[in-house]
Amino acid sequence: MSKSLRRATLLTSFAAPLICGAAEPPPEWKDAARRTHAKFTGRLGTLALFGDSITVSLAFWAPLQGECRGASPELDRAIRRVQKHLTPECWREWRGPEFGNDGGRTAAWGAQHVDAWLKKLNPEAVVVLFGTNDLRDVSPDDYRKQLRTIAKRCTDNGAIAILTTIPPRHGFAAKAAQFAEAARQTANELKLPLIDYHAEIMRRRPKDWDGAADAFSQYTDYDVPTLLARDGVHPSLPKNDQGDYSDAALSRSGYNLRNALTALKYAEMLDLLEDKPAAISK
């Protein structure tokens, strides 16, 4: 076995407890979510997915409809909660540009078309992840403005916007961190739930998240035992970890990790809406 292969094999055994609330916004988002949901006029159980290729891929979200092995009790409970609530078409069918997700798209594209998507879908909630394709040409401030527009249009329509920080990207690590911080700031400003995907990747694999690195040169495409694929852009999806939601697998499969974090946050939102307080603070 080569030295690089031994090193990569050792990396695949790394595991860490799943933390959904990394860099979590203050709890004011919960009252704000209740107020937003009070305006909702659509069908319960509808979840839209607004984003680029990291979202349009059926490696995201759809696998949670099936068997999920090895999940912790907390994650298993969240997945079952989501399976019970979600309408069937929201697992796989709401994919493509007319549903708010498509490869190569930017936050500006999202801001331009968000009203049409909301009119077509009228979703109860929306998971938003744009930014990876903005890294080359867009400033963090302009990215934040576009993201704010998308989120504000969602909440104005009665849909709870769940923001997601972008993953790190090969060659753009510092700027991706700035974009992640911009999403955190937007979530804080608008009092929105946040999935801090970037923070969780960096917590689990702070020095070896990048599948494009030389240490992983013996692997191809998405079958890399770290959290980004060989292209250094998309989340990884190793064949041996598909359907595995154990802590070890969540440190090797970028898509599994995103699925788990999204399920935990969405289930938390559903629990919140089910637990109706006597009064909602204004």
Domain count, the chain: 1
Report yes or no on 30 lying in a domain.
yes
Report yes or no on 225 lying in a domain.
no
Amino acid residing at 64 = L
pLDDT value, residue 274 = 85
- Report residue 23's pLDDT band, with 50, 70 and 90 as the boundaries: very low
Report yes or no on 100 lying in a domain.
yes
Report yes or no on 237 lying in a domain.
no
Task: Report the distance separating Cα 260 and Cα 76, nearest Å.
Answer: 9
Task: Report the distance separating Cα 240 and Cα 216, nearest Å.
Answer: 16
pTM, rounded to two decimals: 0.90
pLDDT value, residue 275 = 73
- Domain with 132, as residue range(s), is 24-162+178-200+253-274
- Report residue 28's pLDDT band, with 50, 70 and 90 as the boundaries: confident
pLDDT (tens digit per residue) in 81-112: 999 999 999 999 999 999 999 999 999 999 99
3-state secondary structure 152-216: HHHHHCCCEEEEECCCCCCCCHHHHHHHHHHHHHHHHHHCCCEECHHHHHHHHCCCCCCCCCHHH
Report yes or no on 185 lying in a domain.
yes
Q: Tell me, what CATH number does 71's domain have?
A: 3.40.50.1110
Amino acid residing at 3 = K
Task: Report the distance separating Cα 221 and Cα 242, nearest Å.
Answer: 15
Contacts for 236 with CB less than 8 Å, ≥ 6 apart = 211, 222, 223, 224, 225, 226, 227, 228, 229, 252, 253, 254, 255
Query: Could you say which DSSP state residue 124 is in?
Result: S
- Report residue 17's pLDDT band, with 50, 70 and 90 as the boundaries: low
Report yes or no on 85 lying in a domain.
yes
Report yes or no on 16 lying in a domain.
no
Report yes or no on 4 lying in a domain.
no
pLDDT (tens digit per residue) in 120-156: 999 999 999 999 999 999 999 999 999 999 999 999 9
Percent of the chain at pLDDT exceeding 90 = 87
- Report residue 19's pLDDT band, with 50, 70 and 90 as the boundaries: low
